[in-house]
A and B are shown apart, each in its own frame.
Chain A
Amino acid sequence: MAPGMDFTHRHILDMHQFAREDIDHILNTADSFKEISSRPIKKVPTLRGHTIINLFFEPSTRTRLSFEVAAKRMSADTFNISASTSSATKGETLIDTARNISAMHPDIIVLRHSSSGAPHLLSRHVNAAVINAGDGAHEHPSQGLLDLMTVKEHRGSLAGLKIAIIGDITHSRVARSNIEGFTTMGSEVFVYGPSTLIPHGIDNLGATVCTSLEQAVRDADVVMTLRIQRERQNDPLLPSLREYARYFGITSEVLSLARPDALIMHPGPVNRGVELTPDVADGARSVILDQVTNGVAVRMALLYLVMGNA
């Protein structure tokens, strides 16, 4: 395969930028790379000589590790920068850091930042390709793609599926990337949660807002739950996690409304006993660890494709 054939995207900023063909192309590429991770020698020379900087302004264990593993399996040179941010200086730090990094001629910068739109800003100030590894409450496109990949592996196709996303939609970049991604691929997305956590106009992204947990979960092919926080920045969102678990949590009883072969997903980290009861989180239908495995393959594909387009 010629590097980056048919792939016209210089940066990976959000799922919004992708048409169905783009996503097919990424998932097919990821699929072909997945096998590398099960070889005894898990390394191919594809990105040898390329420099990838993981620039993380927010703590992240799994996403950063996943990008690093992906890059190393492609033989790229990777460097990790974990910058701390305070609200007063975070913007300046990003631009200043970006200019310094850019002067070292990296090929790809993978950015995690607490402010929505930070990757868009970065992409205007550096020569490298920018991959968004999560920006504020905006998007987390590689997570959206690995979720698509995981569901597609189990279902064969994404068209016509019912995807239920339960929990804190307002503050979730994963929710936005998944709503964009699944609807682009022809799935139907239903969201549900307490009204304090359902943002205005989410239906404009193509999601149907449900009025009950039953409505959301009934006959679903996928039940995806999102991490819950009781309060954010003095914004009282929920009276208690206990009440959330009781009225919005996924139990095996609720799950029985979904299709018998429904998949349980969670972008992690899971609050066991809050978003999901432990038996559901660890049950046979849970593909939470498949998500992690596929994350490496999707990120290998993204690194490869943006380099092909450099």
Chain B
Amino acid sequence: MNNSWRITNGRIIDPSTSTDRIGELLIIDGIIAAPDQAPPPGTPVIDAAGCWVVPGLTDMHVHLREPGEEYKEDILSGARAAAAGGFTGVACMPNTRPVNDCETVTTTILARAAGASVRVYPVGAVSKGGEGKQLAEFAALKTAGAVAVSDDGRPVHDAQLMRRALEYARDFGLIVISHSEEAALSRGVMHEGAMSTRLGLKGIPAAAESVMVYRELALAEWVGARVHIAHVSTEMSVDLIRRAKDRGVRVTAETAPHYFTLTDEALVDYDTNMKMNPPLRSAADREAIRRALADGTLDAIASDHAPHSILEKETVFDAAANGIIGLETVLPLTLAMVRAGLFDAKRLVELLAVYPAAILGLPAGTLQAGVAADVTIIDPDAEYVYSVDRVVSKSRNSPFLDWRLQGRAAWSMVGGEVRHRAGQG
């Protein structure tokens, strides 16, 4: 497959090299070329006029469901959805069946991912079986290719286990990703507030998240280790993270597009595609998340892509599974924030490409000469309806179905090879 390109006339945005200019990006044999390098004769040209040419996006938080729940998604189908969404790399969470808590599972995932549309970075489990009792073998996981550890999907309930995980992960240069949730406060099915009261659904208070965020920050500060807070959804969590960063705690944090796009008002018809954990929060929480993306308190946007079939979703709200697909809607929903003036294009690239790669220590998120040419070409203006027949993921559980969206990935390239090209029109 061809892996040399002249991408011309695009707006090249690369925060890692402080670049923001209209010009040409040259890729030779899958590697970003130096600006003064001459293109070999016959190098094919992509006219990127009107588009942004940025480092390939990394989604640091997805569930690919393989092994074990391939009827919802598999590594190849999830990677296709990722490429369609403009991503060139994804970090997949370990709550598969079996749980990715050992090198065998990590190796299996990577073997399956060899033919995938995007780079797949497995996240290993914090605890064996994800059961929150014994530490998983971090060193072996790292050696096999895991880029971080997490028991995502559920919290690490035992504070001592989390403390030890932070300490031990540090020894191997792994970051612990915390699903911050106090289980005893989380027996509900939606955000606790006026809307849960009206709908008669059991609530999960915002405090269920922030109580645990505070624990993780206190532990990370004490042991001097890095911690990453996944899917931040509340104003109080944002405040805690902001203060911890001011104190020098080595914390990074991500949120997901639904938390800066939707609120608990969206549950008014008991639509199970609005059900996820953490739940959609209040308007004040959404506003705080938006501000935190702009001011640097939050470092990354990740989809928390969580495919479920209609078996899990076409049911009463109480019984429906948590989670929504998101790989294909991250980019347009984040672009909406740029259009709303919340932050600029450079910040979008930081949130979707630079920091996710940096947090996980990946050799990505840059257009520096000499690196593998993982490149996303964003058409920020294309308008379309995200109808169910457009969905690339194997599952359809998106709260944004039939939304009119603006902006999409025109091209996604991994190592200079085209892995996605948007249909014309």
Tell me the smallest distance from the CB of A234 to a CB of chain B, in Å: 8
Check B193–A115 contact: CB distance below 8 A: no
Check A94–B194 contact: CB distance below 8 A: no
When A120-B270, A201-B194, A201-B195 are in contact, do A92 and B200 touch as well, CB less than 8 Å?
A: no
Please report the total number of A residues contacting B with Cβ < 8 Å: 32
* A120 vs B320: C-alpha distance when bound (angstroms): 14
Binds B, one of A74-82, A135-143, A253-261, A277-285: A135-143
When A87-B319, A92-B315 are in contact, do A116 and B199 touch as well, CB less than 8 Å?
A: yes
Is B52 part of the contact surface with A, judged by Cβ < 8 Å?
Answer: no
Residues of the B chain whose Cβ atoms lie less than 8 Å from the Cβ of A176: 197-198, 200
Check B198–A200 contact: CB distance below 8 A: no
Is B203 part of the contact surface with A, judged by Cβ < 8 Å?
Answer: yes
Tell me the smallest distance from the CB of B107 to a CB of chain A, in Å: 34
Residues of the A chain whose Cβ atoms lie less than 8 Å from the Cβ of B192: 200
Residues of the B chain whose Cβ atoms lie less than 8 Å from the Cβ of A273: none
Tell me the smallest distance from the CB of B62 to a CB of chain A, in Å: 26
Of all chain B residues, the one with the shortest Cβ separation from A135 is B200
* A139 vs B197: C-alpha distance when bound (angstroms): 11
When A136-B200, A138-B200 are in contact, do A90 and B316 touch as well, CB less than 8 Å?
A: yes
Check A116–B270 contact: CB distance below 8 A: yes
CB-CB contacts below 8 Å: A215-273 with B: 233, 235
CB-CB contacts below 8 Å: A61-115 with B: 87-88, 90-92, 94-95, 113-115
Residues of the A chain whose Cβ atoms lie less than 8 Å from the Cβ of B317: 115-117, 121
Residues of the B chain whose Cβ atoms lie less than 8 Å from the Cβ of A233: 187
Check A136–B318 contact: CB distance below 8 A: yes
Main secondary structure, interface of A, reads: mixed
Tell me the smallest distance from the CB of A96 to a CB of chain B, in Å: 10
Is A202 part of the contact surface with B, judged by Cβ < 8 Å?
Answer: yes
Check B200–A137 contact: CB distance below 8 A: yes
Check B269–A116 contact: CB distance below 8 A: no
Partner of B200, one of A121, A139, A204, A235: A139
Check A116–B201 contact: CB distance below 8 A: yes
Of all chain B residues, the one with the shortest Cβ separation from A137 is B200
Residues of the A chain whose Cβ atoms lie less than 8 Å from the Cβ of B319: 87-88, 90-92, 115
Check B270–A200 contact: CB distance below 8 A: no
Is A199 part of the contact surface with B, judged by Cβ < 8 Å?
Answer: yes
Partner of A117, one of B187, B203, B316: B316
Check A204–B197 contact: CB distance below 8 A: yes
* A66 vs B192: C-alpha distance when bound (angstroms): 34
Of all chain B residues, the one with the shortest Cβ separation from A232 is B202
Residues of the B chain whose Cβ atoms lie less than 8 Å from the Cβ of A120: 269-270
Of all chain A residues, the one with the shortest Cβ separation from B313 is A91
* A202 vs B199: C-alpha distance when bound (angstroms): 11
Residues of the A chain whose Cβ atoms lie less than 8 Å from the Cβ of B203: 199-200
Q: Please, could you name 11 A-B residue pairs with CB atoms under 8 Å apart, sorted by A? A: A16-B198, A94-B315, A95-B314, A118-B316, A121-B316, A136-B318, A137-B201, A137-B202, A139-B200, A200-B192, A233-B187
16 more CB-based (< 8 A) A-B contacts, given A91-B318, A117-B316, A202-B194: A16-B198, A113-B316, A116-B270, A117-B317, A118-B316, A121-B315, A137-B202, A138-B199, A138-B200, A138-B201, A176-B197, A176-B198, A200-B197, A201-B194, A204-B194, A205-B197
Q: Which 9 A-B pairs have the closest CB atoms?
A: A91-B315, A201-B194, A138-B200, A117-B270, A91-B319, A137-B200, A115-B316, A204-B194, A116-B200
